[in-house]
Chains A and B, each alone.
Chain A
């Protein structure tokens, strides 16, 4: 038995397509997760306890159960409540909700970390609540939450592999399919690992670059 990548690499076009799918699902899922997570954090901060309570429960449930189980429930359990989704739709939705729960916590902590006094200065100048969120809280929070957000993006890259279990045509599904067809598991998984690692490395480098750019915007020592 020899370690031979050429067989798998001969599936170039299929692999590229699948890699693009992984990348697309990750990018779209991350974006949706950030947006939804931010909405949850804001709603919890300003919505009063009637909003805060249920949302907190939701976040705790999503954080407290495995992603794999959530995905199964969404895909196979969805039809019971009239929610029949295609694998990719279910995967994207699942990834978004899963990420949103974590982002909501990151943003909640970030909003709380902005000094109350910075908000008070804006209040004194007649800013409305929404203006304070937009002009003061979000920019200040962004600097603070950037490292945990990058971390979460990285986690989400790797969680896309789980989507293969509900047959989302992303890279893990496609490459392991080819691998099992030719009994070339090691080569397949090796390439797969290389791909994820490359994407993670890219994300973390971008994050570090952004952190360096934003460093001077953080609080004076």
Chain B
């Protein structure tokens, strides 16, 4: 069974169709890197999988469970009750470009909050588990710091620990390093590499072509809201390449990333 299955997923904002009928099957444990020029719909695709955006057409399922919408007996798409949406979403962890830590809670508070509020664990147990997650991302010694007292890289690692707090089966990363200095990017990518090595199913929207090529088991190239290419990194990046992908990658070669390809 696929960890994530997308069938004909489309999303339109008013007049603009951002995603056109995306089909995608992601088996458990696979690391999928979504690349593409800005405005190609990468983030929207990820946000649809997190159900932060509702697809205007098509179906998504997570480990066989329909996410948000299912086909009714009449063959039409029906919205599922809120409780079922919550249940499916709890399998998914999401990491954002801007970290989005809650500023009024410490690192430990951020990571333990969902365990306390959503899972209703006793405070002690929630904090012990949160501490273990912080340990994993190497920040146990910063547990008492507020987000404003942490560097961008540290904040993003806390955000990853927070997304992992409910033991999701799938992790979604929306340009997790785009707002970080190159120096801080490495520490975040290392955490993500370790997660991938642990067998986590991951969908990563990233401009880190190097990371995509080395960690991504599959590369998905979006262009103008269409899934233009997908396959292993060797297959997708090997020459001769699709002309649109070539064009897109040229912008990276310009920035001196040639040696990564």
Chain A residues contacting B93 (CB-CB under 8 Å) are: 124-125
Chain B residues contacting A125 (CB-CB under 8 Å) are: 90, 93, 113-114, 118, 162-163, 165-166
User: Is the pair A121, B102 in contact by a Cβ cutoff of 8 Å?
Assistant: yes
Interface size class of B (residues with CB under 8 A): 20 to 34
Partner of B148, one of A123, A127, A135, A216: A216
User: Is the pair A127, B52 in contact by a Cβ cutoff of 8 Å?
Assistant: no
Nearest CB on B from A128, distance (A): 8
Interface string of A197-221 (1 = CB under 8 A from B): 0000000000000000000111111
Interface centre among A124, A131, A143 (most CB of B within 10 A): A124
User: Is the pair B118, A124 in contact by a Cβ cutoff of 8 Å?
Assistant: no
What's the tally of chain A residues with a CB closer than 8 Å to chain B? 24
User: Is the pair A220, B92 in contact by a Cβ cutoff of 8 Å?
Assistant: no
User: Is the pair A221, B102 in contact by a Cβ cutoff of 8 Å?
Assistant: no
- The complex places the Cα of A122 from the Cα of B162 at a distance, in Å, of 10
Chain B residues contacting A60 (CB-CB under 8 Å) are: none
- The complex places the Cα of A220 from the Cα of B148 at a distance, in Å, of 4
User: Is the pair B103, A140 in contact by a Cβ cutoff of 8 Å?
Assistant: yes
User: Is the pair A117, B104 in contact by a Cβ cutoff of 8 Å?
Assistant: no
User: Is the pair A220, B155 in contact by a Cβ cutoff of 8 Å?
Assistant: yes
- The complex places the Cα of A128 from the Cα of B117 at a distance, in Å, of 9
- The complex places the Cα of A139 from the Cα of B104 at a distance, in Å, of 7
- The complex places the Cα of A123 from the Cα of B68 at a distance, in Å, of 14
Partner of B96, one of A117, A131, A216: A117
User: Is the pair A219, B52 in contact by a Cβ cutoff of 8 Å?
Assistant: no
The main secondary structure of chain A at its interface with chain B is helix
- The complex places the Cα of A221 from the Cα of B148 at a distance, in Å, of 7
Nearest CB on A from B245, distance (A): 30
Interface residues of A in 131-155 (CB under 8 A from B): 131, 135-136, 139-140, 143
Do A127 and B118 form a contact, CB below 8 Å, given A121-B94, A216-B149? yes
**Residue A126 CB within 8 A of the other chain:** yes
Interface centre among A128, A135, A218 (most CB of B within 10 A): A135
Given contacts A123-B89, A124-B163, A218-B148, 4 further A-B contacts (CB under 8 A): A122-B102, A127-B117, A131-B118, A220-B103
List chain B positions with a Cβ less than 8 A from chain A: 50, 52, 86, 89-90, 92-94, 96, 98, 100-104, 113-114, 117-118, 146-150, 155, 159, 162-163, 165-166
9 A-B pairs with the lowest CB-CB distances in the bound complex, closest first:
A125-B114, A220-B148, A124-B94, A217-B104, A139-B104, A121-B100, A117-B100, A126-B90, A126-B118
